[in-house]
Amino acid sequence: MSYPLAATAPPPPPPHTGGILPLVGGTTGLLTVAAVGIALLLYLIIKVRLQPFVALLAVSIAVGLGAGLSVTELFGTVQKSAAVSTVEAGMGGILGHVAIIIGLGTMLGAILEVSGGAEVLSARLLALFGERRAPLAMGLTGLVFGIPVFFDVGIFVLAPIVYAVAKRSGKSILLYAMPLLAGLSMTHAFLPPHPGPVAAAGLFHVSLGWVILMGAVVGLPSVAAAWAYAAWIGKRIFVEVPQDMVEAAEEARAAVGAEQSAAGGAPREKPVALATVLAVIGTPLLLILSATFSSIALDPSRGRSVIEFFGNPFVALTIALVLAYYLLGIRRGWSRKSLETVSTASLKPVGNILLVVGAGGVFGAVLKASGIADALAKTFHDVGLPVIVLAWLISVALRVAQGSATVAIVTTAGIVVPLVEGGSYSQAHLALVIMAISAGSIFASHVNDGGFWMVSKYFGISERDTLRSWTVLESVLSVVGGGVAALLSLVI
């Protein structure tokens, strides 16, 4: 079976009237506007250091006007007639799907973090695998705990465990930090409820169940390859445990425990059952996957409707959050005020993510409304490369150029969605395209990526050694992930 190419696009729509800027003509003009728009986006983010949300929104407006969209088409009318503007449709269309999932997932991760679930999970895995296989235990800790928590939160919570294991063994901290980081990065790139795959699922209109399934199928071989590289590089570069970070971590843990006790919650050190942690993490995944498979295996019936109801991502994550509130909070002595405080605090960093994702939705809507998307689809189809390879390459280019994985995903999705519209792509195949985009978005983390500096500073690794370890590790994850997605697309 050959790789499916991008679906042949219909001819571009006739030029719009009423735009402020001179209208462009034909496919060449539209592609020129697209190229200039992407170059401008990179310039604003990299050189001007403009906030990505503002940069995406500004470039979307400029591209729309440059391609001939009128002000009315972009923003609607002052009287707010029934017609929805391109900007509103793009922003609202994606956030209506993404905002609830990211919000619920973020609160769930916060409860798991503050309750000490990460320490319980890592301690049990270290005891199970022993000192000799401690790197694998750290990798599995990052893999499991990384499902409900953001990458940077995972580093903050789990770094003290890495310090302790590395200090006890006397070996390079890279031997334990890199497997952990590989697990956190894999889940962040490939699995909901993380912003990247959730945003892409919304833009492609793909069930989260398929994204979870393909994320696991593509991500597990990728993280295994990254663990192999981590074991290799960890034996060749020795990095001591950063004593200042050990002391800072101890102070932070003590402060969190004091704040929680003052708020009336249970002390952080109070033990949590491992089964409880796994149940809270696994419940939404199982419910969502059950709904996906029921739509394939079962005929329409009341039973299938019940399964699909509980497997709706909004419902599944709400159930998991309520479970976490009770099992990890109230049952362990937390007050309702503590639960509210932890949940509210966790949502503070989410605003920036949602705005960037929403602006990416605006960018995609402008590309489609202006005819640029159709022109891109026709051009990429004529190139002859498989759409899944194009998706990975575009995502890699945007990631390396500007550093943000989220920006790379939402921008790439806006470009790639038109390539598959009108084609006979299954949900499973579209999920693989999302995996290719996600894989490309983590390629070669370097100095323009905040994650690069977080890894370097948290684990006391020099910039040179961070490039040799972390940057290559991310590239391994990306290349293997993109390759596995491409191979699977041959048969799915």
Q: Does residue 394 contact residue 340 with C-beta atoms inside 8 Å?
A: no
pLDDT one-digit tens code per residue, 370-394: 888 788 777 877 777 899 999 999 9
Which region holds residue 445: left if phi is over 0, alpha if psi is between -120 and 50, else beta?
Answer: beta
Identity of the amino acid at 287: L
The whole-number average pLDDT for the span 102-107 is 90
Supply the pLDDT for residue 137: 95
Of 5-14, 93-102, 395-404, 451-460, the one with minimum mean pLDDT is: 5-14
Contact 227, 235 (CB under 8 A): no
**Alpha carbon distances (Å) from 206 to 77, 374, 410:** 32, 21, 15
Nearest to 159 by CA among 143, 170, 172, 173: 173
Q: How far apart are the first and last CA of the chain?
A: 10
Average pLDDT over residues 107-116: 87
- Helices and strands counted in the chain (H then E): 23, 0
Of the listed ranges 96-100, 205-209, 236-240, 315-319, the least confidently predicted one is 96-100
Q: Of 3-12, 243-252, 282-291, 338-347, where does mean pLDDT reach its minimum?
A: 3-12
For residues 7 and 381, what is the distance between their CA atoms, to the nearest angstrom?
A: 7
Q: What is the mean pLDDT of residues 435-439?
A: 97
Which tokens hold the place of 185? Answer: 């990065």
Q: Which helix (H) or strand (E) holds 128?
A: helix 117-129
- pLDDT attached to residue 16: 46
Average pLDDT, the chain: 85
**pLDDT over 90 (residue 71):** no
- Range in 190-204, 290-304, 413-427, 458-472 the model is least confident about: 290-304
Which pLDDT band holds residue 265 (cuts at 50, 70, 90)? very low
Quick one: the chain helix, strand, coil %, rounded to 5? 75, 0, 25
The whole-number pLDDT of residue 401 equals 87
Which structure tokens are listed for 439? 């894989």
pLDDT band at 322 (very low <50, low <70, confident <90, very high): very high
Name the CA dihedral angle for 308, 309, 310, 311, rounded to a multiple of 10 degrees.
40
